[in-house]
Structure formats: C-alpha cells, structure tokens
Amino acid sequence: SALCSDMADVSLPAAKRARHVAAEGEMHVPRDIVARIQCGLKSEPQAVSSGSSRPFSLLSWNIDGIDDHGPQDTMLRALAVAEHIATTQPVAVCLQEVIPPQLELLLAPQTLGGCYDVVCAENPSLPYYCAMLLHKRRVRRVSSQTRHFETSKMGRHLLSVDVVVDGCSSSPVTLLTTHLESTKSEKRERVRQLAEVFRVMAESASRSRTLILAGDLNVRDDEVVAARQAAGAGADRVLDAWQCCGSPKDHEFTWDMATNTNLGAPHRARCRFDRCLFAGGAWAPTSFELVGRTRAGGRFPSDHYGLQIAFAAASLAEGPCTPGGAE
C-alpha cells in the first residue's frame, strides 16, 4: 500500500545465539514482511482518557525458540509472531521458550521496538526463558519479579509484572507468565509448581487488583485438580478464562498434533497445555481464541498455538466468571 511504499530493505545483525541455532553473519529480513508489520503498527490504539476502563487484549505464546530448523526458519517464525502482534496490538504479550535472537528481532526498530518494551525473567538458568512485551502507550509498568521454582530440573520460573492499563490506577493488574515443567513423567513437579502459582494468585487478588496468568502450563485436567487441592484455601477463586468464555471447542487444543505439523509427530495428540487463569474482581474475560494456525514460510509460527484473550471491566462483562461467579 501507499502507507508502506517507502520501506527500505532491512538487514538486522544476528544476536549471540543459543548453541542449537548458532549462525554467523547477518539475517536479511524480507522487506514485504517488515512492511506489513509497519502497516499494522500504523493503526495506533484509539486515544482514551486517563483512568478509563477500556477493554484490552492479552496474547500468550510459546514461540518455540529451541526448534532446531536453522536461523532462517527461526527468523520467519518470529516475524510471523511480530506480524500478528502488530495487527492486533495486545496490551501485553506473554512469551515462553523465547531465545535472545527472537527477542532482538521482535524488538528491532524496524519491527515492534517502537511500540513495545520488554521485561525478561531475571537470571534464567537456560538459554530459553519467559519474557513479556508491554505496549508503550497503553501500559505503565510499576514493578516486576521473577520467582524461580526451587525444585525444577528445567530452570522453570514465574515472571510477574505489576502494571496499570490505560491509566486506570484504581484497577491495577498483575500479569504473570510461566512455562511449567515439561513431559508427562514430571507430573509431580508440575503439580507442585502450579499449586505455588495458585497460592500466589489467591493471596494477591482483591476486588480492585486482578491477576492474570497466561502461559504454557503443560498441564492435564487432573493435574489442575490436584494442584488446586494442594494449594488449599483460595485456589477455587482462580478461574480459567477458556471455561469462562464458554469452553469454545474450536479454540481448545493449543498443542495439536492433528493439525500442527511442526514436530512431525507420528501421533495425533491434542492437549490444552496453554491456559489463561485469572483472579480478582476488576477485570473479566470476554472472548478467547487460538492464533497462529496458518503457516509462515512453510511451517507454523510454533508447535503451540497462541492464546488471545479479551478482558473488560467486570461490571461490563457477562458470563459465569464475573465477580462472585464460579467455574
């Protein structure tokens, strides 16, 4: 379009890479993709008065930084994520399994750097970790904290960021993201981690403060039940956004080997590993959808589909999970 006709060819230097995607030289970013990203960002969020309770959306995505199909594939998949972010402009993006080259690409001036800031987990023990992108014009960051799970064998952690959205300081939000212990054999550790998350959320939520967790929990339904029981009092006040939005079947399986071919898995396992949980009385989810279900450069952006969840002031939301409701 005319809006993007003056975009120049872009070359971004390669960052220091994790061993599995080691590469030298420069990555040449396709001009047409960068142009589409810039076009998406031109549609700035509509101005709102400070303190208004304007609805907002949140994106969560395990972007599979440890996928070993080479730096070109890593770049194309990261750019597909950037293009979706530019088009939808969520107030926050919760990322799991992210590596430095992906973050450098996502936050380059030619992509999302002019619109988003980043908060990374502190002192990660592995070259992939959790991070959060925050919309510069809509989100004010107050504080952040990284909580490392003491008994994790995989360097897993909980990243939490206290924010104010659109100047609405009377209804603050704590955003959390995590990537819980992987593989079926680590069920006990994963339940322990999720129970810890439930306790953190139950203790901090209030009528004015909402806590929203979105991430790759790697959980099965029976593990959620076990974690609630282990967490004790208050865990029942932590609700599941997908269930609160009517449990839409077309947006259930976030790790779906029946439709996503990135891993080339011989099985067709379908799991709801990625979830959004929330607690508190100020904000409630109004819609829930899976994203990233189209290919980018021959492959999907990740082996996981992303979650995009819309939230509105609880007084305006409808459904079983508004304040005082239950799952």
Residues 239-258 pLDDT 10s: 999 999 999 999 999 999 99
Note the pLDDT of residue 26: 59
pLDDT at 16 over 80: no
Cα 29 to Cα 323: distance, rounded to the nearest angstrom:
46
Query: What are the pLDDT digits (tens) for 212-224?
Result: 999 999 999 999 9
Note the pLDDT of residue 325: 36
pLDDT at 6 over 50: no
Query: In the chain, where does DSSP find H-type helix?
Result: 31-42, 71-88, 100-106, 187-204, 221-231, 241-244
DSSP state of 299: B
Query: What are the pLDDT digits (tens) for 184-202?
Result: 999 999 999 999 999 999 9
Query: What are the pLDDT digits (tens) for 30-86?
Result: 899 999 999 999 886 654 555 567 999 999 999 999 998 999 999 999 999 999 999
The three-class DSSP label of residue 80 is helix
Note the pLDDT of residue 29: 76
* Number of neighbouring beta carbons within 10 Å of residue 315: 12
pLDDT at 156 over 90: yes
Contact, 96 vs 179, CB < 8 A?
Answer: yes
pLDDT at 152 over 60: yes
Cα 40 to Cα 309: distance, rounded to the nearest angstrom:
19
pLDDT at 323 over 60: no
Dihedral sign, Cα of residue 302, residue 304, residue 310, residue 314: negative
Nearest to 213, CA basis, from 125, 311, 293: 311
Note the pLDDT of residue 88: 97
Nearest to 74, CA basis, from 90, 63, 84: 63
Phi, psi values for residue 33, rounded to 5°: -70, -45
pLDDT at 23 over 50: no
The average confidence (pLDDT) of the chain is: 89
Note the pLDDT of residue 44: 66
Note the pLDDT of residue 43: 81
* % of the chain beyond a pLDDT of 70: 86
* Number of neighbouring beta carbons within 10 Å of residue 256: 19
Would you call 269 exposed, middle or buried from its count of C-beta atoms within 10 A (0-12, 13-18, 19+)? exposed
* % of the chain beyond a pLDDT of 90: 82
- Element at 119 (helix H, strand E): strand 116-120
Phi, psi values for residue 115, rounded to 5°: -115, -25
pLDDT at 13 over 60: no
Average pLDDT over residues 287-305: 96
Q: How confident is the model at residue 297 (pLDDT cuts 50, 70, 90)?
A: confident
Catalytic, 9? Answer: no
Nearest to 296, CA basis, from 99, 40, 36, 60: 36
Q: Which residues are 288's β-sheet partners?
A: 309
Contact, 307 vs 290, CB < 8 A?
Answer: yes
pLDDT at 283 over 70: yes
pLDDT at 261 over 80: yes
Note the pLDDT of residue 1: 30
Out of 93-97, 161-165, 184-188, 320-324, pick the least confident: 320-324
- Element at 142 (helix H, strand E): strand 139-148
The residue type of 151 is T
Q: CB under 8 Å to 101, separation ≥6 — which residues? A: 14, 15, 17, 18, 21, 65, 71, 74, 75, 78
The one catalytic residue among 64, 67, 166, 216: 216
